[in-house]
Amino acid sequence: MGLVAALVRSSFLVHAVYAQAARDDGLTPQQGQLLCVLMAQPYGMGELCSMLGLAKSSLTGLVDRTENNGLVRREPDPRDSRAVRVALTPRGARLADRFYTEACRRIEELPAGLDPAERDTLAGLLGRIVLDHKVPAVFAEPDQASPGG
Amino acid sequence: MGLVAALVRSSFLVHAVYAQAARDDGLTPQQGQLLCVLMAQPYGMGELCSMLGLAKSSLTGLVDRTENNGLVRREPDPRDSRAVRVALTPRGARLADRFYTEACRRIEELPAGLDPAERDTLAGLLGRIVLDHKVPAVFAEPDQASPGG
DNA sequence: TGGTTGTGGTTCGTACTGCGAACCAGTACG
DNA sequence: CGTACTGGTTCGCAGTACGAACCACAACCA
């Protein structure tokens, strides 16, 4: 298989697994992403836009829907009365944790046919590609999932 | 970077590049996919469903829209008067070719920082992951792009 | 030959995604 | 102060995707 085909097809595979994990937790992939990003800390709408690569108007809707589901909350920014901080609700935090853990587990299973050394090689090569390009930090590294403990 | 994060983020990267290539040709990613699949030969709706991993009703809409854009055509199946063959129109074929070539070019550029041996290794590892799982054949290998000339 | 069952596709209603343009409110700068 | 900029929302639009219901034909069997 050529490198292009391998990249494209593996990317579809990962996306499908990710989407299914979200679905199993009653989330859309986008809502899952939002929760994962907010696991680290609350963010303003503008920050979320650039992190998720969305237009402002798209994000408003996404946050609206996720808020209606009781998973996130808009809090006023004490420093700027126009601005808003989007934060996880307790329920959202629990669900984010669950979803994140499970999504990682499933994706980690994908390279089951590779031995540890090969996994390492793969992680290294993909990591270099990712770092060579501007990729929104949509999915924290497992090791950094809970920064600050 | 952990393997999970590398997989997820590279998958977002590939998807973004793919989507942008489609957009530059006036296509949505889904329509681009449809065209790419049909480059090989016409298919029935059912076949397309399983190849693209979509529900029947979703595919009807996708084909409708692509047909309205003049890129594909529904032809009656001579063997089954219920069935339909979806085929590229001449314009669709030209556009498919253009899009496919360009998308491949851009994706091929992603691992620019890797030397040939590393690319080979990466293709091999990803290829094994893909083959280990049921991944719809959404993107033909470059070498097989124009089967039968 | 005729009825039942299965299959290929479409239609319909619903929810979500994503964008740009227009807009409002509050901040920052002059 | 007034003007420009910025953070967010609203609105209209097009596309994506699903399941349920449905139709027409095919396939099978009695």
Strands (E), chain A: 43-44, 72-77, 80-88
Instruction: Give a yes or no: residue B147 inside a domain.
Output: no
* For residues B43-68, average pLDDT: 96
In degrees rounded to 5, what are phi and psi of residue B122? -60, -45
Instruction: Write the DSSP string, A4-53.
Output: HHHHHHHHHHHHHHHHHHHHHTT--HHHHHHHHHHHH--EEHHHHHHHHT
Among partner residues A2, A15, A135, which is closest to B143 by beta-carbon distance? A2
Q: Are B45 and B59 in contact (CB under 8 A)?
A: yes
Q: In angstroms, what separates the C-alpha of B81 from chain A's closest C-alpha? A: 34
**Residue B147 DSSP class:** T
Q: Are A27 and B147 in contact (CB under 8 A)?
A: no
Per DSSP bridges, beta strands B43-44 and A80-88 are: unpaired
Q: Which domain holds residue A57?
A: 14-144
Q: Are B62 and B34 in contact (CB under 8 A)?
A: yes
Q: Which nucleotides of D are covered by protein (CB under 7 A)?
A: 6-12, 15-21, 24-27
**Separation of alpha carbons A84 and A98, rounded Å:** 26
Q: Are A28 and A129 in contact (CB under 8 A)?
A: no
Instruction: Give a yes or no: residue B84 inside a domain.
Output: yes
Instruction: Give a yes or no: residue B6 inside a domain.
Output: no
Instruction: Give a yes or no: residue A106 inside a domain.
Output: yes
Nearest one of B2, B28, B29, B3 to B14, comparing CA atoms = B29
Give the number of other CB atoms < 10 A from CB of residue B69: 16
Q: Give me the tens of pLDDT residue by residue for chain A, a chain 149 residues long.
A: 799 999 999 998 998 899 989 999 999 999 999 999 999 999 999 999 999 989 999 999 999 999 999 999 999 999 999 999 999 999 999 999 999 999 999 999 999 999 999 999 999 999 999 988 877 666 654 444 333 32
Chain-chain contact of B125 with A111 (C-beta, under 8 angstroms) = yes
Which residues make Cβ contacts (< 8 Å) with residue A49, sequence separation at least 6? A55, A56, A59
Instruction: Give a yes or no: residue A6 inside a domain.
Output: no
Instruction: Give a yes or no: residue A73 inside a domain.
Output: yes
Chain-chain contact of A123 with B11 (C-beta, under 8 angstroms) = no
Does residue A19 reach within 7 angstroms of strand D, measured from its CB?
no
- In B1-39, which positions are buried (b, 16+ CB within 10 angstroms) versus exposed (e)? bbbbbbbbbbbbbbbbbbbebbeebebebbbbbbbbbbb
Instruction: Give chain B positions within 8 Å (CB) of A110.
Output: 7, 129, 132-133
**Separation of alpha carbons B117 and B99, rounded Å:** 28
Instruction: Give a yes or no: residue A2 inside a domain.
Output: no
Instruction: Give chain A positions within 8 Å (CB) of B55.
Output: none
When divided into structural domains, chain A yields a total of 1
Chain-chain contact of A122 with B127 (C-beta, under 8 angstroms) = no
Q: In angstroms, what separates the C-alpha of A79 from chain B's closest C-alpha? A: 33
**Separation of alpha carbons B51 and B28, rounded Å:** 18
pLDDT digits (tens, 9 = 90+) for B13-41: 998 899 889 989 999 999 999 999 999 99
- CATH code of B71's domain: 1.10.10.10
Classify B127 in phi/psi space as left (phi over 0), alpha (psi -120 to 50) or beta: alpha
User: Which of residues 19 to 78 on B have a Cβ less than 7 angstroms from any strand D atom?
Assistant: 28-31, 53-58, 61-62, 65
pLDDT digits (tens, 9 = 90+) for B95-131: 999 999 999 999 999 999 999 999 999 999 999 999 8
The CA-based angle A96-A100-A106, given to 5 degrees, is 145
- Which nucleotide, over all strands, has the C1' atom closest to the CA of B46? C8
Instruction: Give a yes or no: residue A122 inside a domain.
Output: yes
Nearest CA in chain A to B110: A129
